[in-house]
A and B are shown apart, each in its own frame.
Chain A
């Protein structure tokens, strides 16, 4: 890592010196938040893009975690030093969309460079999420993931459950979890990362129920949360009841629950498909299932909504830079590039062609379960309830929801109270944010 940093420094210095002499090369800066194997993917894609043409030089810069990268981008914009491209996580999408003067829609970047953007080539669920209500694509989807179910086959066997049939509905999850706990196969039956993303946002989409008014905020305007509807209350009351004797175990607000699952403490977990790498690495005898749905929901399962991140282009850059960004987006859409990204990082491919090519190569036969998140997201055409959720202050609203969940799981309030509070406090916060 150190020697790499040094080499990169030398290379950057050399580039800086050479770019003053070779004046045609336009530098395109790309701020990202990828670490580990995903950072290697960023570096390789950048290097290959630079080698593929001689007019532009893409310079990726790691800026920390997702929130840190977003903050760095905002601070840089305010100081007049914004990069060309910034990677923003799903939760920050609303923040970027509200900043109309600060960004240039990805569709505009492509068309002004003389390229056409053919929507039909891309996975509809993903592109829809990053588009305005009128269909203009605002940001370029880079890494997308979807929540799925993981289960520990050894624990299933010990509990006398069928290792080849993971639970399909939430009721089945509760039943299996109880059996795991009662049989002593594991200390806890079920755990989950990201309660807000999986049990509210995706729960709503997957069961085709409304998360909030105005198409979950996608249509803009005054948005009101709908998460205290009976279907949510029943779901969370079941979780709260299971938490009492430890059949359900809470891990934390983000992905901490993965530790509990990896330690073999819980038999079942719902987590992002992007978390697969760690589970593979642990050597666990695991299985993958679809995200469970509510058996009371009529349309279920509908489709899940994308998590992950997309690439945003800042406004007020030169035409040359925009041409370079457009060239990079075109390069990124290439089938072999998308295939590489999908298979190496575990994120979803963005184009249909890359998905088809991966399927044809037999990758999914060798890596069972890797197709599940794609099937979940693309199985059905999205409805008004399942295109995704968008708020100018989603991080804050998620915080509020988490706080209420924690109080509920600690036994201080019922699911009805928790969700009512989350709606009241959340709506007040949304109103405040829109009033800016």
Chain B
């Protein structure tokens, strides 16, 4: 938590900042530390402790079992299935949300009149709460009353997200990605504006076509934005989509859309198996910490900051 005195990575000669007062710095970070302690370390510690217990819902009988819950969870085919579901869902959501947003951002750049209006309209969906976004899509694609489901049927597609796992996943990814497109759009628009016009104009004079210009100049220069969004979107798809899953599919049909976060909820709060649920959330915590660490330590270095 305490930052190193000098960065060992850069090795450059940065002047060290020295605080004459020994107490004041600690006082100044104290509120932040207190918040982190209360809202992260305390519950995380509780989860870790709970993950080693086997307990009835009311906590009347408690048995300390060391890592038995972890062994059980990791050997459970339903858990492994849930990992697979999460990977598919997160990747699909991140890719769809980012591709569509990039396309929209590039298109919006080309608009001459009413640019502001377009942008505002495209940013709107971000203000919608996940559960509401879920309900919205659920209604649109409801096999009996949904207008989009009706259209699909008239095209001869037997749309049935209630029983067809692939359809359910498509519905879930659409809802989750739709909600994230606005956010990505905002960042891509900002990123596009930072691309020097001179470079593009020079390339144009050298005879590079529009597509060529985009892939060789604009896209590489957008890399920092893309990388940042990749992190944000993955974390979003992993954790912030509980409301959507809960509203749209509830993990079904079968277990085809039961993501890791949804399984933690379902095992803990519906099935009341607290030990398993706690073990799963500890595993989830480890996954996030390592994912973030990998992304920032490794992937970030490969990003070319223009």
Contacts and interface: CB of A to CB of B under 8 A. Distances in A.
Nearest to A425: B78
B285 interface: no
B240 interface: no
Interface residues of A, number: 33
B116 interface: no
B292 interface: no
A436 B270 contact: no
Interface in B257-299: 266, 269-273
Nearest to B256: A406
Nearest to A74: B57
Interface stretch (B103-111, B180-188, B246-254): B246-254
B145 A263 contact: yes
Interface in A27-78: 67, 71, 74, 77-78
A252 interface: yes
Given A403-B252, A410-B253, A396 B270 contact: yes
A78 B253 contact: no
A393 B271 contact: yes
A102 interface: yes
Given A395-B270, A403-B254, A407-B253, A77 B144 contact: no
Contacts of B56: 98-99, 436
A101 B270 contact: no
Contacts of B174: none
A250 interface: yes
B58 A74 contact: yes
A25 B253 CA distance: 52
Given A99-B58, A253-B252, A409 B163 contact: yes
Contacts of A260: 144
Interface string A78-91: 10000000000000
A88 B175 CA distance: 34
A255 interface: no
Interface string B146-174: 00000000000000001111000000000
A145 interface: no
A49 B243 CA distance: 39
A404 B252 CA distance: 11
Given A403-B254, A407-B253, A395 B271 contact: yes
Interface string A89-127: 000000100111110000000000000000000000000
A259 interface: yes
Contacts, number: 72
Contacts of A396: 270-271, 273
A406 B271 contact: no
B57 A99 contact: yes
A265 interface: yes
A399 interface: yes
Contact of A78 (B59, B63, B254, B273): B59
A406 B270 contact: no
B58 A259 contact: no
B235 to A, nearest CB: 27
Nearest to A407: B254
A406 B59 CA distance: 34
Contacts of A403: 252-255
A43 to B, nearest CB: 27
B54 A78 contact: no
B60 interface: yes
B162 A252 contact: yes
Contact of A71 (B60, B253, B269): B269
A265 B149 CA distance: 15
A265 B144 CA distance: 8
A404 B55 CA distance: 28
B149 to A, nearest CB: 13
Contacts of A432: 273
B163 A263 contact: no
Contacts of B145: 259, 263
Interface in B57-72: 57-61, 63
A317 B121 CA distance: 57
Contacts of B58: 74, 77-78, 99, 101-102
A253 B163 CA distance: 11
Nearest to A393: B271
B55 A436 contact: yes
Given A67-B269, A251-B162, A265-B144, A406 B252 contact: yes
Given A74-B57, A101-B60, A410-B164, A263 B144 contact: yes
A197 to B, nearest CB: 16
Nearest to A188: B144
Contacts of B272: 74, 95, 393, 395
B247 to A, nearest CB: 13
A402 interface: yes
Contacts of A99: 56-58, 60
17 contacts: A77-B59, A99-B58, A99-B60, A100-B60, A101-B58, A252-B162, A253-B250, A259-B145, A263-B144, A395-B271, A395-B272, A399-B266, A399-B271, A403-B253, A406-B162, A407-B253, A436-B54
Interface of A: 67, 71, 74, 77-78, 95, 98-102, 250-253, 259-260, 263, 265, 393, 395-396, 399, 402-404, 406-407, 409-410, 432-433, 436
Given A74-B272, A252-B162, A395-B272, 12 more contacts: A95-B272, A99-B57, A101-B58, A101-B60, A260-B144, A402-B252, A403-B252, A406-B252, A410-B253, A432-B273, A436-B54, A436-B63
